[in-house]
Structure 1
């Protein structure tokens, strides 16, 4: 049977996460003969552990250049499916994930990109402040699609679009999905939000995890501004004051009690101060260093 779809999953030292993702993909309502899975290993010194249960329709490719977007590009080079699904090693696709992507792909031939829902879940029963912050601010795909992009945690693209606009920017450590989607949007390839094409994703559960992501995003913006020859300087003084926009979102978010809103406001301000430090280092102490392998 012809391979209709390719699922691409980059990984870096997360074989446990890959196994959970593969186990979820084994439960897909679409026959395994109709899709292939490509795990893009971004650790050049790593080997596939003997404990990994790799299904017959899956394989591993290696990419030594640091960065998940470089890894995704390596997988794209050998992808066979006309429909390319992207997700991450810490995501858990719902059983009808692929089916709910392929149906709209066939029924909407004019649409070339699809962003699916990402449902965050907490580590335990109650949501902690870091987890709530992730739920309020991150992976809001329905909002992203309005602005012409979707995160690669849950993105479906016709392979022909990559042939037209090129691969991901392999120099970026973060925001490469947004940068690529902006290129596709500018080239006239529309995007549609699919709430039923869903993956589950664990919410970030610590300040350190959020700070790491905020730093990567700041670095990605820094690189893109330099690439586009825009003014790359952002004064750290901007971050002395709390964000009015973020405060409004926190205060308008439903199903939160007062102490949760106050905790989120404090958490957001701490992240702003961290981002100020990252931008200061990027501007005055040298450019992005990339991920150490």
Structure 2
């Protein structure tokens, strides 16, 4: 039985002490390199001194167009190969190495990183416990002069790399991330940020499920792949016992601000979990935050559900409408008797809405989107229903939230908000024949809520969608109404002044009239607070009452 880890709490695992166990998994260390022959020789010398069995250790060095071409140094592991990749870029080079890898585990390694002799063993002891782990080393960055490869091999053999590379500094950003999240256990949503290419290992099957590196990105490829690994069910493990030295400062340590500027421009489209990069109130992204699937139904029911989703406060979504769209051939002579009329109307109504996709049978889950919503046609969420459910799922870490919509003789009618990563993990750990929801409950948790609390209503009872345009119109009308009330109040204040006699005393009945004006002023303040909902009915009634009162006083 595959071990079940809840959230990112890898602390439930008990890896064996280094040197006390017998490994069986093979590992491929992928080393992309561009120039830097001297540093590559040191990295290979460090790999040659690893305590992990050499017959289980494969190294693939990828020459990414170096001039002169790279060569393999004399001190290297036995199973070391050199492959070429003329397409420039680290992502392309790593994908070339991945294509050549044969190991059960893939270990990314930068060509300017020298590993401690037990680093690979430290990683692989975790991978022997669960097939969906991503393990990252604790690297220190050194500016010490470069030694000879034979010195590295000798020092690594005695565990004394510190003699060559100290003093060195840790990667402050990664150390801070790990410390403030309790080792990534308390905040599993950011755990994928730990995936860095310097020294990280991934199960080959998990990497296949997530896919290779995105070659369209200029920077941020490691983080983007880490996100997809998380969506594929990964648990991220920072292991302080897996150590190594980075020869010189990292690119991020040198140029953090310009790197962030470039990478953020691209990864905002691809990592929906970085909500702080998606501050625009209405635009669409390559990978939406949520994909909603509306179950088949009649035109009116489908339209009520889809329109409510599109009018909600979460614009970062797409809606799938499964149906036999390919077979439709609209009846031209007698359209009203077409047996597929409702399907034709749905197709025609949403054919040009970019957030609605007409799909065939319900597609396999696209794990790139963090959340999936399954909703029966004829049920409309309120304006903020989806936002509230997403907040609940995110803050409490649930893998599935069921919304009880109705109970009929045929059973329970419910909507389902699914966390994609939870269901990917559940598919990895589930036993044959096991209900997938039970596996989700074990790894992330399942919750039931009622429809009324979260603003879901049947199409017949739901209020028409307002949306941003309606809200703008309501605010404009309310502002106009408040302006009228202010003008009326000014006019009435002028009227009060006429009710004084020359001695400054109030005429008969004026005191009561003034009290009434005070009430008007309080009502005016309440009307202002009530924006954007206009209070036109109240205002008209108030003006009529005051008009009658004024005529009575003047008479």
SS of corresponding position for 1:123? coil
The answer as to 2:53 corresponding to 1:26 is no
Per the alignment, residue 218 of structure 1 pairs with 261
> How many Å apart are 1:111 and its aligned residue?
4.0
TM-score normalised by L of structure 2 = 0.37
Among 205, 227, 240, the alignment partner of 1:160 is 205
| Cα separation, 2, equivalents of 1:112 and 1:231 | 29
SS of residue matched to 1:21: helix
Match of 2:31 in 1: 9
Aligned length: 226
Task: For residue 174 of structure 1, report the CA deviation from its aligned partner.
Answer: 2.3
Aligned ranges for residues 66-215 of structure 1 at < 5 Å?
A: 66-106=88-128, 108-109=129-130, 111-123=132-144, 135-137=171-173, 142=178, 146=184, 147-149=190-192, 150=194, 151-204=196-249, 210-211=254-255, 214-215=257-258
For each residue in 1:117-155, what CA deviation from the matched residue of structure 2 results, as whole angstroms up to 9, or x when unmatched? Answer: 11223437997xxx87x7434676735972222211111
Alignment RMSD, CA only? Answer: 3.4
Which residue matches 1:289? none
Check whether the contact 2:44–2:73 (CA below 8 A) recurs between aligned residues. Answer: no
Pick from 45, 62, 78 the counterpart of residue 84 of structure 2.
Answer: 62
Q: What is aligned with 2:392?
A: none
Find out whether 1:40 has 2:62 as its counterpart: yes
Name the SS of the counterpart of 2:226 in structure 1. helix
CA 1:36–1:224: 2 relative to 1, 3 Å: same
- 1:242 alignment partner in structure 2: none
**1:270 aligned partner:** none
Which range moved further: 137-146 or 79-88? 137-146
Partner of 1:56, secondary structure, is coil
> Of the two structures, which has the highest relative contact order with CA contacts closer than 8 Å and spacing of 6 or more?
1
Q: Which of 214-223 and 183-192 deviates more?
A: 214-223
Instruction: Give the 3-state SS of the residue equivalent to 1:98 in structure 2.
Output: helix
SS in 2 for 1:148: helix
Cα distance between partner residues in 2 of 1:201 and 1:180: 21
For residues 233-280 of structure 1, give each alpha carbon's deviation from its aligned partner in whole angstroms, at most 9, with x where no partner exists.
9xxxxxxxxxxxxxxxxxxxxxxxxxxxxxxxxxxxxxxxxxxxxxxx
Determine if contact 2:51/2:117 at 8 Å carries over to the other structure. Answer: yes
Aligned-partner SS, 2:41:
helix
> 1:73–1:26: structure 2 CA closer, same or farther, 3 Å change rule?
same
Q: Equivalents in 2 of 1:216, 1:195: separation in Å?
A: 26
For 1:254-293, what aligned pairs fall within 5 Å after superposition? none
Q: Which has the larger radius of gyration?
A: 2
C-alpha contact (below 8 Å) 1:135/1:203 kept by paired residues:
no
Taking structure 1 as the reference length, what is the TM-score of the superposition? 0.66
Per the TM alignment, residue 218 of structure 1 is displaced from its structure 2 partner at its CA by 2.5
The 1-side partners of 2:204 and 2:72 are apart by 32
Q: Whole-Å Cα distance in 2 between the matches of residues 189 and 126 of structure 1? A: 33
Is contact 1:118-1:141 (8 Å) kept?
A: no
CA distance in 1, matches of 2:116, 2:166: 22
Alignment partners' CA distance in 1, 2:87 and 2:175: 26
Query: What CA deviation, in whole Å up to 9, does each residue of 1:64-100 have, x standing for no partner?
Result: 2221111111110110100111111111100001111
Instruction: For structure 1, list consecutive stretches of 5 or more residues without a partner in the other structure.
Output: 234-293
Distance 1:118 1:76 in 2: 23
Rounded to whole Å, the distance in 1 between the matches of 2:176 and 2:84 is 30
Change (3 A) 1:104 1:225: closer
